[in-house]
Amino acid sequence: MCHYHIRSLRHIRKLLSGDVAKTIACSIVASRFDYCNALLYRAPVTTINKLQRAQNNSARVVCQCRGRSDARPLLRSLHWLPIRQRIEYKIALITYKALKTSNPPYLADLLETQVTSRAVRSADATHLVLPRTRTELAKRAVTVAAAVIWNSVPSALRYCQTVLTFKNI
């Protein structure tokens, strides 16, 4: 489905300014990358590679580059994260929203903060309880993904007061 939209954008790209082309690519193509990020966490490499190729093609169309040009500098110039980092960023963002604002409530209810019994310096840092899992499929669950990613986020991000600050750091 993304390839259809990328091809359509390629046909009209010369008629659009760079900002308009980037906006269209973000709204039509990138929104499909963000759909169900939690399901893509720890997905097979082949799946991630397919999505990365689609994102690379989208960046080439927006920047009006040839099909064989390296996409990494293009992604950087467009301020787009590669797919794997994008998935982790979006999960961290939704975890932040669930912890700070309790939205969405169904996710906020699933996340459990870790309570320490001793007074240590890291006691005020919010860590999530990592649920026990037995299978590889269970390790891809939202609660596990949120806990793993949130616990690996630097503490400066955990203390952000607003979503905008969290996004900008």
Q: Provide the pLDDT for residue 70.
A: 94
- pTM: predicted TM-score of the whole model, two decimal places: 0.85
Tell me the mean pLDDT per 10 residues along the chain, length 169: 88 94 91 83 93 94 92 95 94 92 88 74 73 88 92 89 88
Phi first, then psi, for residue 95 (nearest 5°) are -65, -45
CA 33 – CA 56 distance, rounded (Å): 12
Q: Provide the pLDDT for residue 118.
A: 65
Closest by CA to 92, choosing from 30, 151, 24, 27, is: 151
Q: Provide the pLDDT for residue 103.
A: 86
Q: Provide the pLDDT for residue 126.
A: 81
64 contact partners, CB below 8 Å, separation of at least 6 = 13, 14
DSSP for residue 128: B
Closest by CA to 6, choosing from 57, 49, 47, 67, is: 57
**Distances from the Cα of 15 to the Cαs of 3, 18, 75, 85, 153, in angstroms?**
20, 10, 22, 32, 42
Domain range list for the chain: 2-80, 87-168
